[in-house]
Each structure stands twice: as C-alpha cells, then as structure tokens.
Structure 1
Amino acid sequence: MGPRASPLVCGYTSHHRRLESTLAELKDTEECLLCPTGFSANMAVLTAITSVVPGRNEDKESPVAIFSDALNHASIVDGVRVSQRQSNAEVYIYRHNDMMHLHQLLTNCKRERKVVITDSLFSMDGDFAFMKELSALRKQHDFLWIIDEAHGTLVCGESGGGVAEAFGVQEYVDIHVGTLSKAIGCHGGFIASSRKWKQWIQTRGRSFIFSTALPVPVVAAAHAAIMVAKKEKWRQHKVWALVRQFSEATGLIFTSPIAPILFGDADAALEASRKLLAKGFHVPAIRPPTVPVGSSRLRITFSAGHTAADVEALVKALSHWTKTKGPSLNFLPSPVYWFPASLTDSKTLKLLLGNNREVQSKKVRLRPKL
C-alpha cells in the first residue's frame, strides 16, 4: 500500500499524476503538486518562496516580506515563522480582514518582493477573506498572492473551484493551497500553481521533498471523490441549502457551512458539546489556544451527508439548551453583522438573507429567535 519513498525518488505514479491534473483543472492553473498533508503544503510553499520569487527580479538574494492575516491557519503561522528564521524574511501580521491596515503595511514596506497569504474561508469563524479587495491591492502593489482553500474547494464556486472562483478572482491568485481531507473526504494536501512555481517548490519545499508520497489507494479515492462531486452537483447545493435552513431557523446569519456558536467560557463550551453528543450531535468545543481566550465556541459544520431533519433536531437541541441554562449562557453572536461589499453583492449572501432580512449598506441587522 505504501509508496515507499518521496515522490522525487519512487513514490510518484500515474495515479498521482492523474489527480494532480484533475486538481489543476479544478483550480484553473497550469500545474498541481500533491503533498502529504495540507499542513505540509503550506510549509513547502512558504519555505520555498522565501528563497526567491522567480521572474520578478534577477537578484536572487533579494529578501522577501510576508504579509499574513492575523487569523490564518496554524500551518501558515508556522510556515511564516520558519521562513523568517531561514531567510531573514520580514513578517507583517495585518489585522483580520482589515484591508486598510494591509494597504498601509504594503505601502510602508521597502522590500521589493512582497507576499500576501490568507485563508480564503477562515476555519474557526466561517467568514471569507475579502477577495475582491485583495485582488485590487495585488494590482496596486504587485505582490505574490497565496490563498489557502482548505475549506473552499468543492464547496464554493460554480464548478467547485473554491472561494477564488466564487468571487471571480482566480486569475489573480498565484498559488492555491488545499487539502484532500475536507470536502474531498480523503487525506493529503496539494499546491496548484503555474508550472514555474511547481518546479520551484519541488526543489525547495523541504516538507514535500523529505516526505513519503501519498499512498496510491488514497490518491485514487481522492480522484474518485472529485469526479463524484463534479457529476453530482446536488451535493454542493444541498450544503448551502442546509446553511440557509440553519440561518433562517436560528435568526442568525451564517455565510458559509462553518457556523460558530460563541460561548466565551471554555467550560461552558465543553459542557454544551457533551450535552449535544448525548443527543447524537458531534459538535466539538473549540478552545484556547486554537482560539483566543474568552472566545471558546462550538463549531458546527454542515455536509451533504446531513439532512433537513438533522438541522431541525440540532436547532431544537440548541433551543432547549438556552432555555435550561437561562440568560447566563451568552453564546449567541451579536445581532449586527458586518460584511465586505463584495460579499453583500454575492449570490451566497442573497441566498442566505431570504425575504425577512434587511441589508443596509454593508450592515445586516436581525433579531435572534433562540
């Protein structure tokens, strides 16, 4: 079953090549590179790109400046730290989805080689990166744009290409990082990019070079899963229908299949998780250090395997919890939500809003029902 060695030695087969080609087509890129995990994919990209940005400058010793969203995944955080140590990269952490802050940091940075990296759909909050605004900043500042599409692939976009496709900015993204363990339901990671970038990461990305290749059965299963998802589009549509149902039933706006229920207190979140498990719902409590102190939560994630009846039962269980615990349990998100202009204009938000909610400018106001 095992491939025996690194893809560069003897672990690369026609099955790996077929999956890479399928993922490259899905992401509308020239090439794709499979990695052992999504974590190792981000590590490989960041350690490789801080060596040199090919095609931008002949001076290969020119240092890089990395700009990373404050709520990026841990794999990005660790990759940035390693890059900083190994190559003297300057690192700037911009406030979450604060495009003005990012613009100021980019403007004040003196280094010519700039890299901006962000999750496209943030795993703990379920909100989207401001893709339209980021693409505009890329045109202005000419940075290398990397996005982590772990939670967007096969979930967002007409063809399942991800958040970049959904917002119409695929052509401006230089490198797409993804995983095979979320919507695809298997194991592994990938990097979709130009042929030049693939070749560079293959020779400089240490977490790729020195790791055993993915087993053939896993690769074959991932390819089959993508084929099913592309053929049976109802799966993607069903996920979004469940998001809308949950949003309408709770009186809250959720803009993605990741629906966080904020408790604040870690013990309260753990107790709620245990109670829900007893009722048949596996909703893990997310606590520090995964999220900041005081923001412990339940993270609900919808899939095509769930039914409308499941959502109804979940809402009932949550409603019962609030009634038995009383007002001391302050887990509902704020009744005022803010979205980027690009999201309030999207089909996704219009689908979620329905007929009984009002959008004014960039603000959505609603009253919780629970």
Structure 2
Amino acid sequence: MGKIKTSWDLYVEEALPKLESRKMFAPLRPMNISIAEQAEGARTNLDEDEYQTYQGIQPWDRLASQIQLPQIFFQRLMNGLELTSKNEREEHEIISSNQEKQFKKLTLFAGNDFLGLSRHPTIAKAMAKAAMEQGTGPRGSPLICGYTNYHMALESALANLKKKEACLVFTSGFAANMAVMVAIGNLVPVLAAGRRPAKEEKVAIFSDALNHASIVDGLKIAEQQGGVKLFVYKHCDMSHLDSLLTKCKNKRKVVVTDSLFSMDGDIAPMRELAQLRKKHGFLWVLDDAHGTFAWGKNGGGLAEEFNCEYDVDICIGTLSKAASSLGGFAACSKIWKQWIQSRGRSFFFSTIAPIPLAAASYASVVVAKKEAWRRSEIRNRMKEFHALTGIPVKSQIVCVIIGDIMEAIKVNKEILQAGFYCVAVGPPAVPPNTARIRLTLTAVQTTEDIKRIAALISKYVKFQVPSYIDSSNYISARI
C-alpha cells in the first residue's frame, strides 16, 4: 500500500512544476563508482552484514574518552587566561612548530561522541577501504558528479532508521537545518509567481525559543524571502504554542524544534507535540541532532523513543555527534526531498562529502544500530550521576548553571586540575548570566569516572532546582 499523501505533500507537488517551468528544478545525478580491480558490472553496493559489531566495551572504546592537551595550553587554562587572544596566538606557533613536547592526559566529558564510536575498528576499516579503492576527493557537487552509490546507500540507511521514504545528506547538520528552513520559506514566493503574497498566504513557522543557531539563522533567511511569518514560543511551553497556533489565521503552519536542547540538556515534550500536530495539522520539523543514534531501541532518536516517528514530517540530524563522523541529513518524504534539494541553498551550493566519509558514516549507522548496549551504557551513566548528585538528569547532556562566566571558569579549572576535560560555556552560546559547566555522558565512560567527577562537582557546587521551574526540564546550580 502506498504512502498517503499529506496536504503538505500536495502543496509541495503544486510548487514543484513552477520550478520545472522556470528550469529551476535541481535533479540529483546518481553515479555508480566502480572499484578499479572489479570487472564492469561487479557489485559495489554496501551490505551491512559485512560489518563486524561487538557486544560490550572493548579495549579501543576506552580510548574514545581519553584526550591529551598540550601542557602549554593546559597551563593557560589553569592560569585563567583562556579568554586572552594574544596567548592563543603565541601558543599556536609553539605547538604547530612541534616545540611543545609535553601533554596532559584527561578524561573527556565535553565531546558529543555519545556512543564512543570514534575509535571503532569497523568504522575505521570502512573508511580506509573506501579511501584505498576510491581515493579521497569529493569529486563535485551532488547536482553535478559527486552523488555516488556510497551516498545513496547512506541516505537509504538513514531513511530506514527514521522511518521515512527518503533522505538527503548534507555537509553538516548546520547546513541541513539551513537548507530545510530556507526551502520551506521559498514555497510561497515560488507559488506567488512574482506577486506579493497576502499575509494569510504566508507559511506560519513556530520555533522554540531555545532552538539551535542553525535553525534561527535559517529562519532569518526564510523571513527575508517574504513567504514566512515567524512566531517564537516559550521554551517547551506547549500551552503557549497551542495558544499561538489557535490564534494564527494562516492556513499553512510549521512547528520546528530541537528534540534535545544542547545547552540545557532537556528534551522537547514529544508526546504533547504529537498531540498538537493532530489538533492543528502543522508540519512537524524535528532537529534530532543530539538524539539520533543515542536514543530509541534502534538508535532512531527521540521520535523512536517516544513512539512518534510517523508524526514527525521532516527529521533533521547530524552524523558528527553519536555517529562519530561528519555531515548532516534530512529524512522526509520523496516529494520534500526534491523540494529541499532544489531550494535548499546550503545543499546545492556545497560540495558533497568525500566517498570515504560517506562510507564511514554508513558503517556508523550499522554499528550504532546493532550495538544497542552502547545506548544502555549511556542510561547507566545517567542513573549513576543522578544517584550521586540528586540532579534530575534527563539526557546525556548535563548542564550545571553557574551564572557568571568567570565563576564558571573557576569551577572548570578545578575540574581540569582533577583530570577531567569539560568546558565552561558562556555568552553568546547561552544567554547572559547563565554561564554553565556542560558535561556529556557517554557509553565509554566508567562508573568510576562518574563517581570521581560527581564528588568533585558536589564539592564546589550546591545543586538545587528552583521552585519556579519545572524540575523535569531544568538543572540548576549555585556556587
């Protein structure tokens, strides 16, 4: 049985012929790249059964949580000179000239390698094999000659993971968000065919107040195109969103939100959003950058975790976090894929990822899906951290709000001295007076790591949950 088309699919289908009539439709140009030693017509498709996976942590996994800082840089952190540009320039010259020989070993609590796949041999072998067979060059734009069977296999795997008809890969998650926002904003101008659209004709887009910068920047461009009316709803406030949707007279409505907010560690109210979608019929665009591979039985992300995969219309994600690769994607219907590839500027004005990177990303999808124990280990670290600190940990991202950036740097200095690497985050990444210590919990950290860092933070920070904020969505701390 074929897919039932939504009103949005029909809307895009109405717009696509307008592009075609203006010779503006941008078709992908699939290329099958053969291996030099193979005879013509030999099989070059990727087969996930060929990828070796493991059950339980392996020796190389622990390496994914270990880093070494040049001693000169580490000392600058200790001296409170992190924000001094002159020192950075001088350090760079010393390090790049190989004069710096000493290093400080630290356990990583700041990266986004949530599953610990960055040292996985299966992924490394897939990348090396593709590089040996195909070289390292990206070949070109996906609309010219860069779109290969490796990229198509990756898209197919991601579409299956997200329970969508199709998928489009990008050079980054930032580019994916930008392209989707701009493509949505271009619908009305294309259909208006040169005339100025009426206010009620515009697409009304409702964006969470704490959405990622890539969404915000994409929406700014979408607004400039003249076909979008933008609304910002209070962070994760479904009553406010419902009220805005109810009052809005525009026929076409879009809701866009992060699934897991990277600077607060809280999760969007997925079930409530699914209910509001049924009530208002909006297009639901979900940025699942921090949820993909790390959440859900199969790594399908937070939509899978909350059983609302089919409610999400366009799911945007990244390959640079839990997949330990690089790139982004948008999983959607076939008709939306065609529209985004034609009107998403950050897609068709970018060179596609090199084949070895596409091969590594495909291997990451396979490994992340099959090694489900890694997601379980993340949950174990979350439970341990909560049990030791009392913090209501809701995701693998734990943000300890300090307030003043210099105070946050002071606390971070103590953490670094104890052998853990995390970062004090301040404006402009977060609002003024909300500087914080951001910790990421991963599958390859140990129980002992959690015990040590929890004891350290508890020594310097008194944790509390403000009474005026829902404790299920907020973590706070005071010196």
Shorter-normalised TM-score: what interval? 0.7 to 0.9
164, 172, 175: which one aligns with 1:40: 175
Structure 1 segment 256-267 matched on structure 2, within 5 A = 256-267=395-406
Matched, 1:20 2:161: no
Report the CA distance between 1:339 and its aligned residue.
Answer: 6.2
Check whether the contact 1:262–1:333 (CA below 8 A) recurs between aligned residues. Answer: no
Matched, 1:112 2:251: yes
Match of 1:334 in 2: 465
Moved more, 59-68 or 26-35: 59-68
150, 153, 156: which one aligns with 2:292: 153
SS in 1 for 2:169: strand
Moved more, 191-200 or 98-107: 98-107
- TM-score, structure 2 normalization: 0.67
SS in 2 for 1:171: coil
SS in 2 for 1:2: coil
Higher RCO (CA < 8 A, seq sep 6+): 2
Match of 1:214 in 2: 353
CA distance in 1, matches of 2:466, 2:213: 29
131, 139, 144: which one aligns with 2:278: 139
CA distance in 1, matches of 2:464, 2:341: 44
CA distance in 1, matches of 2:279, 2:192: 22
Report the CA distance between 1:59 and its aligned residue.
Answer: 7.0
332, 335, 345: which one aligns with 1:196: 335
CA distance in 1, matches of 2:344, 2:406: 40
CA distance in 2, matches of 1:50, 1:248: 46
CA distance in 1, matches of 2:231, 2:310: 25
CA distance in 2, matches of 1:106, 1:113: 11
CA distance in 2, matches of 1:333, 1:71: 22
CA distance in 2, matches of 1:21, 1:154: 16
Check whether the contact 1:261–1:333 (CA below 8 A) recurs between aligned residues. Answer: no
Check whether the contact 1:42–1:75 (CA below 8 A) recurs between aligned residues. Answer: yes
- TM-score, structure 1 normalization: 0.86
Match of 1:8 in 2: 143
Report the CA distance between 1:67 and its aligned residue.
Answer: 0.5
1:42-97 Cα deviation digits (max 9, x unpaired): 000011012228xxxx8786321110000000001101111001134111000001
325, 329, 337: which one aligns with 1:186: 325
Match of 2:446 in 1: 307
Moved more, 276-285 or 110-119: 276-285
SS in 1 for 2:420: coil
Report the CA distance between 1:240 and its aligned residue.
Answer: 0.7
Gaps of 5+ in 2: 1-135
CA distance in 2, matches of 1:169, 1:232: 23
CA distance in 2, matches of 1:287, 1:128: 21
Match of 1:317 in 2: 456
SS in 1 for 2:407: helix
Match of 1:73 in 2: 212
230, 234, 239: which one aligns with 1:100: 239
382, 394, 414: which one aligns with 1:275: 414
Match of 2:105 in 1: none
1:213-238 Cα deviation digits (max 9, x unpaired): 01111111111122112221111100
Report the CA distance between 1:319 and its aligned residue.
Answer: 2.9
CA distance in 1, matches of 2:304, 2:432: 34
Report the CA distance between 1:163 and its aligned residue.
Answer: 0.7
Matched, 1:50 2:185: yes
In the alignment, residue 130 of structure 1 is paired with which amino acid?
Answer: P
In the alignment, residue 122 of structure 1 is paired with which amino acid?
Answer: F
1:84-126 Cα deviation digits (max 9, x unpaired): 0113411100000111111111111121111110001111111
Gaps of 5+ in 1: 323-330, 344-363
Q: Provide the aligned C-alpha RMSD in A.
A: 2.2
CA distance in 2, matches of 1:217, 1:280: 34
**Between Structure 1 and Structure 2, how many residues are aligned?**
334
SS in 2 for 1:177: strand
Structure 1 runs of 4+ aligned residues shifted over 4 Å read 58-61
In the alignment, residue 249 of structure 1 is paired with which amino acid?
Answer: L
Q: Which has the larger radius of gyration?
A: 2
In the alignment, residue 206 of structure 1 is paired with which amino acid?
Answer: R
1:143-171 Cα deviation digits (max 9, x unpaired): 11100000000111111111111111111
Compared with structure 1, are the counterparts of its residues 220 and 315 closer, same or farther at alpha carbon in structure 2 (3 Å cutoff)? same
